[in-house]
């Protein structure tokens, strides 16, 4: 799933119907406007208009499928924290971008500059992923054991 972060914009006001639409689409992005209308209790044209407005405002940025990497042969999920050496920020970013096993990377505050998520087949592949980054700085990695909070939509008030 790809998530894009935008610079903070003035907080948009949502009514309860918008919040219910977002919760429903978060649970099942494949809902048709007709099915969504039945669930929310509005007409399909009203739902279509509200969804279009949420898209136009940049609240809904896309629709995605959730996959299980283990079912594709990638049973290990690894969190890699990375801190580039002085002058190596661009090289580290490029190495991260060019590593297909890395499915997400965020620039963060604190001791590290990046936190990346990678899905790998085994510890050997994990080592190879890390080896692509370490020429440009320090890394610290952890294997994810479980996800007590799976990806979810932030609270919508």
**Domains contained in the chain, CATH given:** 16-56 (1.10.10.10), 69-143 (3.30.70.920)
Torsional sign, CA 5, 10, 16, 21 = negative
How far apart (Å, rounded) are the C-alpha atoms in residues 110 and 137?
Answer: 15
Decide if 105 contacts 114 (C-beta within 8 A).
yes
How far apart (Å, rounded) are the C-alpha atoms in residues 3 and 104?
Answer: 9
- pTM, rounded to two decimals: 0.81
> pLDDT at position 1, please?
47
> pLDDT at position 7, please?
47
25 CB-contact burial (10 Å; exposed 0-12 / middle 13-18 / buried 19+): middle
Find the angle CA(59)-CA(63)-CA(66) to the nearest 5 degrees. 125
CB contact set of 22 (below 8 Å; sequence gap of 6+) = 14, 54, 59, 60, 153, 156
> pLDDT at position 41, please?
96
- Block means of pLDDT (10 residues each) for the chain, 157 residues, are 49 83 94 97 96 95 93 98 98 98 97 97 98 98 95 78
């Amino acid at each position: 799933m790809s998530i894009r972060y935008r610079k903070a914009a003035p907080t948009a006001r949502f009514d309860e119907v918008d919040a219910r639409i977002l919760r429903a689409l978060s649970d099942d992005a494949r809902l048709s406007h007709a099915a969504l209308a039945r669930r929310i209790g509005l007409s399909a044209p009203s739902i279509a208009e509200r969804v279009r407005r949420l898209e136009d405002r940049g609240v809904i940025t896309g629709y995605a499928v959730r996959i299980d990497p283990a079912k594709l042969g990638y049973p290990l999920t690894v969190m890699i924290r990375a801190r580039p050496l002085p002058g190596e920020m661009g090289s580290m970013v490029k190495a991260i971008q060019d590593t297909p096993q890395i499915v997400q990377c965020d620039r963060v505050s604190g001791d590290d500059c990046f936190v990346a998520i990678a899905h790998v087949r085994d510890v050997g592949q994990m080592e190879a992923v890390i080896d692509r980054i370490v020429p440009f700085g320090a890394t610290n990695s952890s294997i994810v054991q479980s996800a007590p909070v799976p990806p979810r939509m932030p609270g919508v008030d």
